[in-house]
Structure 1
Amino acid sequence: MTGPTRPTGSTAPARPAGSARPAGPCDLTSLTAARLVEGYARGEFTPVEAVRAVLERSEHVQPAVNAFVRIDAEAAMDQARRSADRWRRGEPAGLLDGVPVSVKDILLLRGGPTLRGSWTVSADGPWDEDAPSVARLREHGAVFTGKTTTPEFGWKGVTDSPRHGATGNPYAPGRTAGGSSGGSAAAVALGAGPLSLGTDGGGSVRIPASFCGIFALKPTYGRVPLYPASAYGTLAHVGPMTRDARDAALLMDVITGPDARDWSQLGPVPGSFRDGLGGGVAGLRVAYSPDLGGRVEVDAQVAAAVRRAVEALEGLGARVEECDPGLPDSLDAFHTLWFSGAARVTQHLDPERRALLDPGLREVCEQGAAHSALDYLAAVDVRMSMGRLMGAFHTEYDLLVTPTLPVTAFELGGEVPPGSPYTRWTGWTPFTYPFNMTQQPAASLPCGVDGGGLPIGVQLVGARHADALVLRAAHALYEAGAADVPPPPALASGAGREPAPGSVPGPASGPVSGPVPRPAGS
């Protein structure tokens, strides 16, 4: 590696199995992880070819959307060559041997810094530890292509940070990719790898999945081990960000392994998440809440697209009823928990370093620091009551369906949509953060686009521990062609895009690749 980091209302028809985006037969960046593994096993192509293609795509789209903090080309190609050797010997390391994966720059990835979007984090090592989910991917032979962008410490629902700049939307680089896993969502949408690991404390995999037209799952809390423990406590989840539900199930089969560093992890899952995908939705009891009992104003085009997804479920045999679970307004309680976590993660900073923080994060930290232990415990009480309510709700309904978000992607540069009455990102994410409070599995998948071609997401929520059911229902929608959107314009045209306004980051913070290495014979 050389040089410093300078990361500069319709539903589509069904797509061929294994192809994430319409593309030519040799476009390896369009293939799902499952299809890549199948191709390696058959000798159709090698991990070296696939990883090189993904790295070249990553370099190509980076100036337009700023999805990556760093792209680790040399290390990735070395991993790809070792994977190719294993496949030639007929000894793949695991389920994802040779599959390119990116990792949100909140999670530890051995061999490079995890900067969390903040100038308050030193790049000095040693960086010699993997997060549990990353360690599991490494055991299964995955190839790590780079770290993706995040707002500072993952604190908000859009992706911009003082250290790494703003991440633009693949469908319109002047609009937000969402957050806080916005870099991961943009990378997956643009073919810069079929898989990415994100984190979700209030919607952070589902928000950008909705804005970028991909799939993401926030699993049941504890299903995927997390280390180091998040300052946001038991709101924080690790989840897959992929192009379809099948790849998410494959990724879940890898990252749900036990890790003693997380004392709150759940026990092993019997069987495989992939095994149950084909069960369909016939007979499932589905509650559809279009606006949380009239509390949320939803854009008309969003509402129409989500309703079509609900009708698709009904057409597949689900028993759908429009019904709201009656959750209380939990915004104040969530803010108490979230802002207190933000204050905790920054409490050690001296005034000089605190001045380096995102101004919005500083405000949130000040509010969080003012909460008492009694305030915090009162918020926990609200959370517990929500969990009991949803537990009872799911004795009557297998799934809850809502919009993922009430809006589509808005302009870069702000935490909230221009002209909206909201002051914080939680104002426009009322469908996502409640299910961090209740620790339930919740997925976002695309269900159409608005009049400007921007993706719309529908959210599927299951009872705690019903991750497999959520994946199964999502897979049924993909198989029916009800969960596809057109490719981003940059992919459809094959052309690069102008950089997103505000996407150019600050001073360099780490290694970025030069030209993708092409060793002889590979």
Structure 2
Amino acid sequence: MSNPDIPTDPSTMTAVELVSAYTAGALSPVEATQAILDAIAERDDAVNAYCLVDPERALVQAKESEQRWHSGHVRGLLDGVPISIKDVFLTEGWPTRRGSRAIAADVPWPVDSPVAAHLRADGMVFLGKTATPELAWKATTDSALNGVTRNPVDPTRTAGGSSGGSAAAVAAGMGPVSVGTDGGGSIRIPAAFCGIVGFKPTHGRIPLYPASPFGPLAHAGPMTRTVEDAALLMDILSLPDPRDPTAQPPTITTFRGELHRDVRGLTVAYSPTLGFVDVDPEVSSVVGNAVERLAGAGLRVVNADPGFTDPLAAFEDLWAAGAATLLSKFPAGSRELVDPGLGEVWDRGANLGAVAYLDARATAADIGIVMGAFHTAHDVLITPTVPIPAFAAGYDVPPGSGLRSWPQWTPFTYPFNLTQQPAISIPAGVTSGGLPVGMQIVGPRHSDDLVLALARYAEAILAD
């Protein structure tokens, strides 16, 4: 007998809904996987979210999962749920080219990153790898290798980046969940532009291997349609891996177990501009209205800016140093192959002295101290995720803006990579033209469970 509460189209279902359907016997992992593969074949030409799709491998994994469900020996929390993986994570048997023509595909790929290993151990079904700009260097997703990734809401617009392929895949119904990376907003920006959930946990909460050249800026995290799916993925992705010496110890509680804690009465600081950001009026209105609804639903909302100035220069120095460190290991002649904008960042990083680098690290530490003090009075901080809606696809900065670099149009995100705090983007509403607007929730370091719980509460309030 069919369950009227379970959707009939697997491409629209969340991970939790898929597991519920498997449990009820209303759907099998093979049926779900095939439906999503069909959706990819039908929809991805217009979006270009994937740089690799492997139907044969996905269906083998789905059949193995189906057998486990039939035998009653389910492997993990999301056994049989299809997932895509950003093409920066090593994945056994698949090339990890990171959007770069300088990385050869036809070499052995025998190693799983911690992210891929944990997803595989849980029994998830690997659909393929999602597009990234070259070496994930910018906040839009296009490369000479893979072309331009477009926004499913409006394909003339950017999906954002650098996890734009993952965001577009989830938003377009080409897989319920994905995993991205975030060094300056690369999960949260495309999540906001595409109207999905994107979570950057505290640095080190999800182990990474190989170590990112962007060091303490680098985070991995889930990209999903719901906060609940993000919490479930966090319980999988945050399992320990000995290859990351900077990883945090395992959590005492589970993220899914803390998701429904009572957050009413928390003190929420709302900072519409961080004290220095120019915000599009429609974005400001959408997020402001969302915050008003939260204030009417039991949260103590106060207007307060954290008190730091724009750390753009420090962020760009650290970003350039990371890019130069990575690119210096590439074969001779790679400078001519990489994205011209990335080449400029490479040159900047290569000429950055040790004193300038340490000064930038000191700025990051200072902001961390400011935020630590701020959170003694305010449980969380809410801001817009991005101060503008998605702009034309194929550009690094909004056409006609006069901006020189991508961090200039996303000043709400990179400060919290400098401080390594958990931050999530959830949908807050849409502009008059129907473009999604994201709301960012930032918590103190190591408060990942609190950020997810408040995001789930806000998600429910805003959905009513």
Fold similarity call, TM over 0.5: yes
Partner of 1:297: 278
Pair 1:116 & 2:98 matched: yes
Q: Residue 445 of structure 1 contacts residue 483 of structure 1 at CA under 8 Å; is this kept in 2? A: no
1:365 aligned to which of 331, 343, 346:
346
In structure 1, what residue type is equivalent to 2:277?
V
SS in 2 for 1:274: helix
Partner of 1:508: none
1:278 aligned to which of 254, 260, 272:
260
2:128 aligned to which of 119, 133, 146:
146
Alpha-carbon distance, 1:229 to partner: 0.6
1:103 aligned to which of 85, 106, 114:
85
SS in 2 for 1:278: coil
SS in 2 for 1:175: strand
- In the TM superposition, what whole-angstrom CA distance separates every residue of 1:205-260 from its partner, at most 9, and x where no partner exists? 00000000000100000000011111111100000000010000000011100000
- Tell me whether 95-104 or 267-276 shows the greater mean CA deviation: 267-276
Pair 1:253 & 2:242 matched: no
Q: Residue 94 of structure 1 contacts residue 139 of structure 1 at CA under 8 Å; is this kept in 2? A: yes
2:399 aligned to which of 418, 434, 442:
418
Q: 1:307 to 1:208 in 2, by over 3 A?
A: same
How many angstroms apart in 1 are the aligned matches of 2:393 and 2:259? Answer: 37
Determine which structure has the larger helix proportion and give its number.
2
1:50 aligned to which of 32, 41, 44:
32
Pair 1:126 & 2:118 matched: no
Q: 1:217 to 1:483 in 2, by over 3 A?
A: farther
Q: Residue 18 of structure 1 contacts residue 31 of structure 1 at CA under 8 Å; is this kept in 2? A: no
Q: Residue 310 of structure 2 contacts residue 411 of structure 2 at CA under 8 Å; is this kept in 1? A: no
SS in 2 for 1:379: helix
Q: 1:18 to 1:437 in 2, by over 3 A?
A: farther
Pair 1:33 & 2:18 matched: no
Identity value in percent: 54
How many angstroms apart in 2 are the aligned matches of 1:18 and 1:290? Answer: 38
Partner of 1:341: 322
How many angstroms apart in 1 are the aligned matches of 2:400 and 2:99? Answer: 27
The total of aligned residue pairs comes to 461
How many angstroms apart in 2 are the aligned matches of 1:391 and 1:348? Answer: 37
Q: Give ranges in structure 2 of 5+ residues lacking alignment.
A: none
Partner of 2:382: 401
Alpha-carbon distance, 1:18 to partner: 8.3
1:467 aligned to which of 436, 443, 448:
448
SS in 2 for 1:443: strand
Structure with the larger RCO, 1 or 2 (CA within 8 Å, 6+ apart) = 1
How many angstroms apart in 1 are the aligned matches of 2:249 and 2:100? Answer: 34
Q: 1:483 to 1:351 in 2, by over 3 A?
A: farther
Partner of 2:188: 206
Pair 1:354 & 2:335 matched: yes
In structure 2, what residue type is equivalent to 1:90?
G
Partner of 2:57: 75
In structure 2, what residue type is equivalent to 1:327?
F
2:151 aligned to which of 155, 166, 169:
169
How many angstroms apart in 1 are the aligned matches of 2:428 and 2:331? Answer: 46
SS in 1 for 2:255: coil
Q: Residue 283 of structure 2 contacts residue 437 of structure 2 at CA under 8 Å; is this kept in 1? A: yes
- In the TM superposition, what whole-angstrom CA distance separates every residue of 1:327-354 from its partner, at most 9, and x where no partner exists? 2221111011001111111113455322
Partner of 1:234: 216
How many angstroms apart in 2 are the aligned matches of 1:483 and 1:416? Answer: 31
1:61 aligned to which of 6, 26, 43:
43
Q: 1:18 to 1:428 in 2, by over 3 A?
A: farther
- In the TM superposition, what whole-angstrom CA distance separates every residue of 1:19-77 from its partner, at most 9, and x where no partner exists? 8xxxxx42111111011111111111100000111111111111001000011100000
Pair 1:430 & 2:404 matched: no
How many angstroms apart in 2 are the aligned matches of 1:84 and 1:332? Answer: 52
How many angstroms apart in 1 are the aligned matches of 2:284 and 2:388? Answer: 9
Q: Give ranges in structure 1 of 5+ residues lacking alignment.
A: 1-16, 20-24, 485-522
Partner of 2:439: 458
Partner of 1:375: 356
- In the TM superposition, what whole-angstrom CA distance separates every residue of 1:381-432 from its partner, at most 9, and x where no partner exists? 1111111111111111111000000000100121100111311000000000
Within-5 A mapping of 1:149-160: 149-160=131-142
- In the TM superposition, what whole-angstrom CA distance separates every residue of 1:124-169 from its partner, at most 9, and x where no partner exists? 2211111101111111100000000000000000000111011000
In structure 2, what residue type is equivalent to 1:122?
A
The RMSD of aligned alpha carbons is 1.3
In structure 2, what residue type is equivalent to 1:229?
A
Pair 1:443 & 2:424 matched: yes
In structure 1, what residue type is equivalent to 2:370?
L
In structure 1, what residue type is equivalent to 2:225?
R
Query: With structure 1 as the length reference, what TM-score do the two structures score?
Result: 0.87
